[in-house]
Amino acid sequence: MTVQAVVVEELPSLLYRLELSNKAQVLAHGAGSALRNWVRLLPGDHVEVELGEHDLTRGLILKKIG
């Protein structure tokens, strides 16, 4: 499932705490072009996230929006 989120906090090991539109928070790390191109994310950035199938509190950041 792909959703949009806002970066809340940058954590060690390239993990990010994100807030979804329903105010739920998830942990995510970069994947695909976001990881290959060293996309730098700061709190407040909008991103597109793919949530895990079994654990909806973890995800992959697919791309930065805007």
pTM (predicted TM-score): 0.86
What is the chain's Cα-based Rg?
A: 10
Domains and CATH numbers, the chain: 2-65 (2.40.50.140)
Q: HEC states along the chain?
A: CEEEEEEEEEECCCEEEEEECCCCEEEEEECCHHHHCCCCCCCCCEEEEEECCCCCCEEEEEEEEC
Asked if residues 21 and 3 have their Cβ atoms less than 8 Å apart, the reply is: yes
What's the pLDDT tens digit per position in 25-63? 999 998 876 667 777 899 999 999 999 999 999 999 998
pLDDT-derived band at 14 (thresholds 50, 70, 90) equals confident
